[in-house]
Amino acid sequence: MAFRNAIVVFGAVVLFLATTEAGKPLFSYVGMNGPEKWASLSPNFSLCSNGKAQAPINIVTSDAVVNEKLIPLNAGYQDEVDGILTNYGFQIAIQFDKIKGIGDISIGMRNFTLKSMHWHAPAEHTIDGIRYPLEGHLVHYDKDGKMSIVAFFYEYGHPDSFIKQLEKPLVELKKQMKDMNGEAHFNLTALQTRALDKKVVKYFRYDGSSTTPPCTEPVIWNLVPKLRKVSEEQVALMRDVVDMNCKENARPLQPLNGRKVEIFHAPKHHAV
Count CB atoms within 10 A of the CB of residue 108. 14
Position 266 scores a pLDDT of 83
Position 3 scores a pLDDT of 32
Position 98 scores a pLDDT of 86
Position 179 scores a pLDDT of 58
Using CA atoms, how far apart are residues 75 and 161, in angstroms rounded to an integer? Answer: 19
Per-residue confidence of the chain (272 residues) as pLDDT tens digits?
333 333 333 444 445 456 544 455 689 999 999 999 999 999 999 999 999 999 999 999 999 999 999 998 888 899 899 999 999 999 999 999 988 999 999 988 899 999 999 999 999 999 999 999 999 999 999 999 999 999 999 999 999 999 999 999 999 998 887 655 568 999 999 999 988 877 788 999 999 999 999 999 999 999 999 999 999 999 999 999 999 999 999 999 999 999 999 999 987 644 43
pTM for this entry: 0.90
Position 214 scores a pLDDT of 97
For the chain, domains (ranges, CATH) are: 2-270 (3.10.200.10)
Strand pairing of 262-265 and 202-208?
antiparallel
Using CA atoms, how far apart are residues 126 and 109, in angstroms rounded to an integer? Answer: 27
Burial class (CB within 10 angstroms; exposed 0-12, middle 13-18, buried 19+) of 23: middle
Position 29 scores a pLDDT of 98
What is the enclosing helix (H) or strand (E) of 198? Answer: none
Using CA atoms, how far apart are residues 25 and 93, in angstroms rounded to an integer? Answer: 14
Nearest to 29 by CA among 13, 48, 5, 50: 48
Position 104 scores a pLDDT of 93
- 3-class DSSP assignment, residue 114: strand
Using CA atoms, how far apart are residues 259 and 58, in angstroms rounded to an integer? Answer: 12
Nearest to 89 by CA among 18, 179, 34, 165: 18
